[in-house]
Structure 1
Amino acid sequence: MPNPSILNSIERKFILLVGDLVIIIASLNVFVNNAIDIEFISFKLKVIVTLFGVFSFLTLSYILDLYNLQRTLKRKYVVSQALYITALFVFIVFIFSVLFFDTSFWRIPLLVFLILTPIEIALWRLFFVNVFRVIPTTRNVLLIYDKETEKHFREVTSSIDGEDVETFYKVKLTYNLNQHTEIRKKFLVATEKVDSWIVNIKNYSDFPDDLEKILLRSILKGKEVISYTSFYENTYEALPIQSHNDSFYEILQLRNRKIRYLHTIFSFFVNLILSLFVGITLVICIPFVYVLNLFFNKGPLFYTQKRVGLHGNEFKIYKFRSMVVNAEKEGAKMAVKNDTRITPFGRILRIFRIDELPQIISVIKGDMQFIGPRPERKVFVNQLNSLVPFYGTRHLIKPGITGWAQVKYKYGENLEDSIKKLEYDLYYIKNRSITLDLRIIFKTVTTVLFSRGV
């Protein structure tokens, strides 16, 4: 039976969500049954307001990362984050009720709903943080590896321990198959103290029989046994490409070759609706950008560049020019944060993503779609292909204006960042779905609204 004191991140998020929903539903009950004047109340109104309230809270929580455990488990974030998100939630519910139902309210119950709900959520989350400071939350890991992993041993162990991200795993014991000898009693005792086995080997047929028996015994005792690829994919929502030992087919599984009608239909309507919306926005913006360009960004209005798209074919991409004219007279160079080539007006265009609007032309032409890997230039693609043998697999689908790598990772400034983004691109290719596309759309909207870098 699994150790009951150790909960994985999904279980922790579930407990946190259940606690939040209990408080939210109780607060909505106070709102619809006590705050709204009884003359205006009806069962239909109760149901509509309650469902809208729960939907609003879950949507805000997702968009604003309320269930990001890396922040939730830090005291300095937990209270402030819970207060401002829940305050926004109660305000939205209140405005919704006023605008759509023209109701009147009793002041005291209304104030209880507006003021106490954020405080209750903040106190619950503070309690949650303190409980998990007492209860063990980290799995002790036995890492099984071979000579191939030795080349990237530091990267593998760092990703399991989580230097920048809280993984809730910690490497406590390692075993190198390349130095396999007879299993010692000391090692057997040590394996009893680990909670998870993470296996990162090239060839599973090389797994020693005696070690395999111990592994199977651990499985029967309820301990977790997973491959490094599975751990990495579940934890980082990306696929390892530099520090992996699994075969290429295990990593990618090329699920994009399966026909997924619902996702295809969904993608078609997303591209159609957003093309219309972004196209209208582009037409409206062109006169304003053109006039301001005359004073603050003299030169051509648009900037065109060839990028690599579906099946490795090049196509032309369009943007509002945000850099000085002849920005690459000394050769191709990746844009970096605080790039000196970006004009002051161009910086404003980039902050609000206005410079990206003309890419709708490539979507209409069929060279791009809204969601997919960002198209890269051929000169950089060639360099990356030499560094990562299967970099070209990101060209299995059309490139996109936004994508999983864009919403999960910072702005790419060099080839190392591009390789890191490839991990997210491969994850998207493998796990494309309506749900994942909706997550990307939500996160892209918050990036634009709050001017967050990606």
Structure 2
Amino acid sequence: MLLKPWDELPEYMQTEEVRPYYESLRRKKAQLVLKRLFDIVVSFILIILLSPLILLFSIWIKADSKGPVFYRQERVTQYGRVFRIYKFRTMVSNADQIGNLVTSKNDSRITGVGEKIRKYRIDEIPQLFNVFLGDMSFVGTRPEVRKYVEQYTNEMYATLLLPAGVTSLASIEFKDEDEIIERYVSQGRETNEVYINEVLPLKMKYNLEAMTSFYFIKEISVMINTVVRV
């Protein structure tokens, strides 16, 4: 998980807005190595321990509605690389074609099983495979689809210096994101517009602060808080 040399970063990341975050992380090479080792070891152990639960929910999802067990969507991670994120499918199989890329609380595309497992974030469990493979980390900025990354300011691109995360302080603070979006939508605003102009900038404030104050031990605290609060 060591950082690339500055001149090897994507050109759109080689800006004065990104430079302070890069220099801050560059001074913490040992912390970054520890972060990656933790991701590999813990994700492998959890995949083994949770395999019966993964099988159980796979059967339940297949029995509840037509479509694959897993939802795989292209997201953006470190240095702007595109990968496919794994989630348990919680919506109808063609959800991306019949609605927005973000969901509100009462989204009609959510299945019966999906409503239950989304409530407790169980749909995120398959991301353990993304963590093990290095596409994601346990803690980091949640991966966005390319459409929303294209709306980033120059400073926001600093979050792409590290792999995307399963959880973060922003994830905890915005655990009821779908309800927040629903309040704006009920006022006649469009879902994507609300996310880009209202939700994303607020989440990025937390994410950018986490970049400047990065320490491995703080990430353990974020993981514990995620379990307790989310």
Do both share a fold (TM > 0.5)?
yes
Q: 1:360 corresponds to which letter in structure 2?
A: L
Q: List aligned pairs for 1:332-411, cutoff 5 A.
A: 332-382=100-150, 384-385=151-152, 388-411=153-176
Q: Residue 328 of structure 1: SS of its match in structure 2?
A: helix
> Which sections of structure 2, spanning at least 5 residues, go unmatched?
1-15, 182-194
Q: Does 1:421 align with 2:186?
A: no
Give 2:98's match in structure 1, choosing from 325, 330, 349.
330
Q: 1:257 corresponds to which letter in structure 2?
A: R
Distance 2:133 2:18 in 1: 33
Give 1:270's match in structure 2, choosing from 38, 46, 51.
38
Q: 2:157 corresponds to which letter in structure 1?
A: G
Q: 1:422 corresponds to which letter in structure 2?
A: M
Distance 1:376 1:314 in 2: 10
Cα offsets for 1:396-437 (capped at 9, x unmatched): 111111112112334444122111100011011111013321
Whether contact under 8 Å (2:44, 2:132) holds in the other structure is no
Give 1:256's match in structure 2, choosing from 19, 25, 34.
25
How many residues are matched? Answer: 198
Residue of structure 2 equivalent to 1:279:
47
Q: Does 1:437 align with 2:219?
A: yes
Q: 2:160 corresponds to which letter in structure 1?
A: H
Q: 1:258 corresponds to which letter in structure 2?
A: R
Pair 1:430–1:281, CA change in 2 (3 A): same
Compute the displacement of 1:353 (Å).
1.9
Q: TM-score, normalised by structure 1?
A: 0.41
What RMSD in Å do the two structures reach over aligned CA positions?
Answer: 2.3
Residue of structure 2 equivalent to 1:223:
none
Compute the displacement of 1:332 (Å).
4.3
Compute the displacement of 1:304 (Å).
0.5
Q: 2:221 corresponds to which letter in structure 1?
A: R
Q: For the pair shown, which has the larger CA radius of gyration, 1 or 2?
A: 1
Distance 1:283 1:275 in 2: 12
Compute the displacement of 1:282 (Å).
4.1
Compute the displacement of 1:285 (Å).
1.9
Q: Residue 96 of structure 2: SS of its match in structure 1?
A: coil
Whether contact under 8 Å (1:362, 1:368) holds in the other structure is yes
Cα offsets for 1:20-59 (capped at 9, x unmatched): xxxxxxxxxxxxxxxxxxxxxxxxxxxxxxxxxxxxxxxx
Whether contact under 8 Å (2:17, 2:154) holds in the other structure is no
> Which sections of structure 1, spanning at least 5 residues, go unmatched?
1-246
Q: Which has the higher contact order (CA 8 A, sep 6+)?
A: 2
Distance 2:142 2:82 in 1: 13
Compute the displacement of 1:376 (Å).
0.3
Distance 1:391 1:441 in 2: 23
Whether contact under 8 Å (1:254, 1:429) holds in the other structure is no
Q: List aligned pairs for 1:229-240, cutoff 5 A.
A: none
Q: TM-score, normalised by structure 2?
A: 0.77
